[in-house]
Structure 1
Amino acid sequence: MKRGTTIFLKLAVLLIGVPILALCIFGIPWLANNPVNPNYAGALYPIVIMMYVSVIPFIVALYQAFRLLSYIDKNEAFSLMSVKSLKTIKYCAIVISSLYFVMLPFVYVVAEKDDAPGLILMGMVPIFASLVIAVFSAVLQRLLQEAIDIKSENDLVV
């Protein structure tokens, strides 16, 4: 793979992380301090806490994606370190999906009080998006592990 492609992907990974960090610094505290309706501010705090907690596995997954791209740059794509990075990305996506699933009842409370049924659908988007990422990384992990096994068998045959 050309180095320019991986540099572009590394830049994309960094550009994905910057808005999330900005949201954590500016957006989420503003949301917690300025609820639209003070009646459901109590249900808003667990949502804010879950959003902050979900940033940790998100940043870990971005770091692992960055490491995976570094392995590709070094021509070490077919290594156990790459498999480990994909495994970590998979677990991070599962944790994010679980956190947002736990947060869904609180979103329901806010949607019920605000009479906004679309809010529940918006709360389900991160769940399904992270599940897709988990399944995709699990498939890549399995394929990469099989390729490494075949490569090691071929090295022993010589």
Structure 2
Amino acid sequence: MRRVAVQILKVAIFVIGIVVLGLCIFALPPLASSSAEMFPEFSYLQYPILIGLYATTIPFFYALYQALNLLTYMEKQLAFSTFAVRSLARIKYSAIVISLCYISGMFYLLTQSALHPSIAIVGLAILFSAIVIMLFAAVLQELLKNAMKIQSENELTI
């Protein structure tokens, strides 16, 4: 049962990655072009926004890769290892980078008077999701460290 659950999670991570990659390739460029045509006063923001959105996919895909590594460690019975702690730390840092990118992007749009409420809502949703993932990874990282400490103390006890 445990192996099946890990495989399902791996498939889910691959599906998420493929969907995001598909959106980046097929949905974002036409959306940016149509937005530039509809609002010509903000057309100069088309490429900086696209570059910013594509830049946030780098830590996103890195976090997905680390999640796959974490699942692989679970399969190999290495869930309570420093490798798992490192993967959680990297997921946490990726979420921080994504949060900072979205904060700076929304601040830039706000200074350009181009932060439409719908863009702000989507940006805030992504921002809060990244913050929740960061906090969850940090809590799991600390729990894992404590569990490893207890495990090593138990191994030393006769």
Same fold (TM over 0.5): yes
Separation (CA, whole Å) in 2 of partners of 1:97 and 1:123 = 10
> 43, 51, 59: which one pairs with 1:57?
59
> 101, 107, 114: which one pairs with 1:110?
114
C-alpha offsets along residues 59-95 of structure 1, whole Å, 9 cap, x if unaligned?
Answer: 0000000110111111110000000000000000000
C-alpha offsets along residues 100-121 of structure 1, whole Å, 9 cap, x if unaligned?
Answer: 000003443323xxxx423322
Partner of 1:21: 21
Displacement of 1:46: 2.1
More deviation, 141-150/38-47? 38-47
Separation (CA, whole Å) in 2 of partners of 1:7 and 1:98 = 32
Q: What residue identity is the alignment partner of 1:82?
A: A
Separation (CA, whole Å) in 2 of partners of 1:16 and 1:117 = 26
The alignment covers a number of residue pairs equal to: 154
- What's the secondary structure of 2:114's corresponding residue? helix
Work out whether residues 90 and 137 of structure 1, in 8 Å CA contact, stay in contact via their aligned partners in 2: yes
Runs of 5+ consecutive residues of structure 2 not aligned to the other structure = none
More deviation, 137-146/31-40? 31-40
Aligned-residue sequence identity (percent) comes to 43
Runs of 5+ consecutive residues of structure 1 not aligned to the other structure = none
Separation (CA, whole Å) in 1 of partners of 2:119 and 2:157 = 58
- What's the secondary structure of 1:77's corresponding residue? coil
Separation (CA, whole Å) in 2 of partners of 1:81 and 1:123 = 32
Partner of 2:49: 47
Partner of 1:92: 94
Q: What residue identity is the alignment partner of 2:15?
A: L
Separation (CA, whole Å) in 2 of partners of 1:98 and 1:77 = 29
Partner of 2:8: 8
Separation (CA, whole Å) in 1 of partners of 2:95 and 2:107 = 20
